Amino acid sequence: MEGTPVRHPLRRRRRPLLAAALCLVVAMAGIGPAAARPSADRGGNSEAEPEAKAKAETESETKTKTKTKVKPKQKGTAAGQFRNPVNTGPDPALVTHEGHYYIATTQGDALRIWRSPSIATLLTAEPHEVWRDSDPSRNRQIWAPGLYKATVDGAEHWYLYYTASDGNDSAHRMYVLESEGSDPLGPYHFKAKVADSGNDRWAIDGEPFEHDGKLYFAWSGERDDGVRNQLFLAPMANPWTLGGSRVHLPVDGNCPEVREGPTPIRNKDGRLFLTYSACDTGKPDYAVWSKSLPPGANPLDPAAWTQEPGPLFSRNDAAGVWGPGHHFFFTSPDGTEDWIAYHAKNTSAYTYDWRTTRAQRIGWTADGRPDLGVPVALGTPVDLPAGDPGPGTTALNDTDPQVTYTGNWNSGSQCGAQCFHGDDHWSEEAGATATIRFNGTRLALLSVKDTGNGIAAVSVDGGAEQRVDFHGSTRVGEQLQWVSPRLEPGEHTVTVRVTGEKNPESGAAFVSVDRAEVYP
C-alpha cells in the first residue's frame, strides 16, 4: 500500500442532485474584470485555473504518456455528436440495453434511472424513481448505484447495487435490488444486504465481476484495524449473497487516504483489470488506478494481482477537468467500442459539490492495457458511440449571431476552460436581455454558477417567465441551469432577462449566458 493509511478519513459527502434541477435552474456567473465583479468572481480566484503555466504543465505531462490513441471513426460513419455532461449527478453506472442507454447516479434520497435512445439526449431525459426505501436503517445517504444483468433460474434480471445508511456515515452498508423482469427500469424489489456475515463492517461502492466463470464482489470497506476506504474481494454464491469471507486487496494510489469505486474491464485476451479511484473525491487529484489479473489466477489471492502503473485517468488542468473518477465501463450500442462514464468537476476547489457525469470512448494499448486517455473539456464535441441512432445535438455559443442582447452586457474570456469556447456574457443590469434563436424541439442552457450571481427570468417564444437562480456556492462552469419544455419542431426563441434580484446567499445579481445545447 502506498503511503501511510489514514484512520477514518474524511468521507465524501455526496449531496443529492435531484432530478428537478433538470427543469429548473438557468445559467449564471459573472465573468469579467475585477472592477466589474465581486472579488469572488473571475479575477484572482484560484478556481479560475487553468492559466498558461497549468496548461503548459498538463500538455507536457500528456506528451510523456506513450499511449495508443483511439482511432477516429471513418468519415461519414458518425451519426452525430454530443457534448458532456450527460447527467448532473456523480458516481455513474451506465449501460446499453435493447436500443437504449440507462444511467443511474448518486441521488442521496432514492434510486433513479434515466433512459434515452441516444447518449446525446440523456442529459434532458426524465428521471424514473425506481426505489425509495421506508426502512430508516438504509433510506439515507444513498450512494454509488451499480447495474448488473444476470440470468437466475432461467430468468433474466437486473441487479441494482447501492450504498445506504441511517444518516450516519458509520452505518453505511451495501444492498441490492432485483428487477421483476428484464427491464432495467424495473419494477424492483429489495433483495438483500450484501455483507460478509462474519465481518459486517462499514462498506460502500460494491460491484460484482466475473472471472473464469465464477462470480465475485469488489467493494471499498473497513479493515479490521478500523482503517476505511480499502478494497476488498469476496466470492459470491449468487448475485445477492457473498459465498465466503472477504479478502483485503492492497492497491497503490496518488493519495494515501481513499481506495474506492472498484469496477472491472477485461481485454480480448481475458486479462481482468480491476480499476478503482484513489484520493478523496472532493480533491482535484481524485484519479483512476488499476490492478490486473491473468486468466486462470485466483482473485482471492492478493499475490496473483499485478499493480498497473498509474494513474490511468487523472486531472486535465488545461481542459478545466478536475477529480475524474468513480467510473463505469460500457460498450457502444453495436458492441464494437469501449466507453467510460465518470464524474468530474469543472473547479479545482476542494468540494464534493458540482460533480457531473461525462462519457468518452477509450482504447487499448498494444500490450492489452486499457488506454483511458485524458478527460476532455466540457463542451468538447464527441462523436456518438457506434450504433447510436443520433442525430446528436448542436451547440450555440454566447458570441454566435443567433444570440442577441439588449441593455448593458459585458463579455470576455477571463473564465478560460470553465466556459464554453473560453468566453461568456454577463450582466447585472435589471431588464437586460439575451435572446437565443434556434431551430429544434428543445434547448438547454449551461453556464457558470458563482457566488456573485443572481436571479434571471427565462421565457420561451415570448411566453410566461420562469425565475431561475444562477447562484452557486463555488464558481464552476458549464452547469446545467435550465431546460425548455418539449416544443414543436421549428424556429423558437428563449429569452433570459436579468431581474437585478438575488438570493440572500449571493454577493451580487449577475446573470450570464454561455452555452445553449439545441436538440433537433
Say which CATH number the domain at 447 has: 2.60.120.260
Q: Give per-residue pLDDT as tens, 240-266.
A: 999 999 999 999 999 999 999 999 999
User: In total, how many domains does the chain have?
Assistant: 2
Distance between CA atoms of residues 394 and 59, nearest Å: 28
pLDDT at 420 over 60: yes
List, in order, residues 6 or more apart from 275 with CB less than 8 Å away. 262, 263, 264, 265, 288, 289, 290, 312, 327, 329, 370
242 and 217 in contact (C-beta within 8 Å)? yes
CA distances from 341 to 79, 89, 96, 259, 310 (A): 20, 12, 12, 18, 19
Pair (358, 398) in one structural domain: no
pLDDT at 38 over 50: no
Residue 508 has pLDDT above 80, yes or no: yes
Instruction: Give yes or no for residue 28 having a pLDDT over 50.
Output: no
**405-415 pLDDT, tens digit each:** 999 999 999 89
Using a 10 angstrom Cβ sphere, with 0-12 exposed, 13-18 middle and 19 or more buried, the burial of residue 367 is exposed
- Average pLDDT of the chain to the nearest whole number: 88
In this structure, the number of other CB atoms found within 10 A of the CB of residue 338 comes to 20
Same domain, 266 and 303: yes
Residue 296: CB atoms within 10 Å = 9
Q: Phi and psi (nearest 5°) for 119?
A: -65, -25
User: Is residue 75 a part of any domain in this protein?
Assistant: no
DSSP string, 22-77: GTS-------S-TTTS-TTSSTT-GGG---HHHHHHHHHHHHH--PPPPPPPPTT-
Whether 419 is in a domain gets the answer: yes
Of 324, 350, 383, which closes a domain?
A: 383
CA distance 141 to 147: 18
Same domain, 250 and 148: yes
**Same structural domain, 124 and 182:** yes
The yes-or-no verdict on residue 132 having pLDDT over 60 is yes
Mean pLDDT of all residues in 81-101 = 98
Strand-pair category, 241-242 with 247-248:
unpaired
Within a domain: 3: no
Is residue 155 domain-resident?
Answer: yes
Q: Does position 214 have pLDDT exceeding 70, yes or no?
A: yes
Which listed residue (41, 47, 49, 91) is catalytic?
91
Contact between 239 and 159 under an 8 Å Cβ cutoff? The reply is: yes
In a domain, 359, yes or no: yes
Beta strands (DSSP E) in 269-368 are: 272-278, 287-293, 306-307, 322-331, 338-345, 356-361, 363-364
Residue 141 lies in a domain: yes
How far is residue 26's CA from residue 457's CA, in Å, rounded to a whole number? Answer: 9
Percent of residues, the chain, with pLDDT higher than 90: 84
CATH number (domain holding residue 200): 2.115.10.20
Query: Phi-psi category of 44—alpha, beta or left, where left has phi over 0 and alpha has psi -120 to 50?
Result: left
φ, ψ at 84 (rounded to 5°): -75, 155
- What was the pLDDT predicted at 50? 33
- pLDDT-derived band at 63 (thresholds 50, 70, 90) equals very low
- Catalytic status, residue 337: no
Looking at the fold, whether 376 and 460 belong to one and the same domain comes out as: no
Query: Does residue 26 register a pLDDT over 50?
Result: no
Domain boundary among 319, 353, 383: 383
Residue 252 annotated to the active site: no
Instruction: Considering the candidates 260, 317, 398, 424, report the single residue annotated as catalytic.
Output: 260
For residues 196-223, average pLDDT: 97
pLDDT, one tens digit per residue, over 277-327 is: 999 999 999 999 999 999 999 999 999 999 999 899 999 999 999 999 999
Scored b (16 or more CB within 10 A) or e, 320-333 reads bbbbbbbbbbbebb
Please check whether residues 200 and 307 belong to one and the same domain: yes
Q: How far is CA 390 from CA 85, 408, 439, in A?
A: 17, 39, 17
Average pLDDT over residues 382-398: 97
Residues 379 and 427 grouped into a single domain = no
What integer pLDDT is reported at residue 79 of this predicted model?
78
C-alpha cell at 329: 465501463
Same domain, 285 and 358: yes
Q: What pLDDT is stored for residue 357 in this prediction?
A: 98
The DSSP secondary structure of 200-215, one letter per residue, reads ---EEEEEEEEETTEE
- The set of residues, in sequence order, having a beta carbon less than 8 Å from that of 450 and lying 6+ positions away, is 28, 29, 30, 40, 41, 470, 471, 472, 475, 510
Count the neighbouring beta carbons within 10 Å of the beta carbon of residue 271.
17
Note the pLDDT of residue 236: 98
Q: Are 128 and 188 in contact (CB under 8 A)?
A: no
- Is the residue at 455 inside a domain? yes
Judged by average pLDDT, the poorest of 72-76, 199-203, 322-326 is: 72-76
Q: Which of 350, 383, 416 is the last residue of a domain?
A: 383
Cβ within 8 Å of residue 482, ≥6 positions away:
23, 24, 25, 26, 27, 444, 445, 458, 466, 468
- Give the distance from CA 366 to its chain's centroid: 28
Using alpha carbons, select from 443, 430, 496 the residue that is nearest to residue 467. Answer: 496
Q: Are residues 31 and 140 in the same domain?
A: no
Of 5-14, 121-130, 151-160, 458-467, minimum mean pLDDT range? 5-14
Q: Which domain holds residue 512?
A: 19-52+394-519
Same domain, 372 and 430: no
Could you give the percent of the chain with pLDDT greater than 70? 85
- Determine the Cα–Cα distance for residues 135 and 161; give it in Å rounded to an integer: 16
Q: How many angstroms separate the CA atoms of 332 and 334, rounded?
A: 5
Q: Does 340 share its domain with 436?
A: no
> What is the predicted pLDDT for the residue at 36?
33
Q: What number is the average pLDDT over the span 332-337?
A: 97
List CB contacts of 517: < 8 A, sequence separation 6 or more. 83, 123, 393, 394, 395, 443, 444, 445, 446
pLDDT at 45: 30
What's the grid cell of residue 162? 447501492
One domain, residues 135 and 263: yes
Grouping H, G, I as helix, E, B as strand and the rest as coil, residue 120 is: helix
Residue 94 in any domain: the answer is: yes
pLDDT in tens, 426-440: 999 999 999 999 999
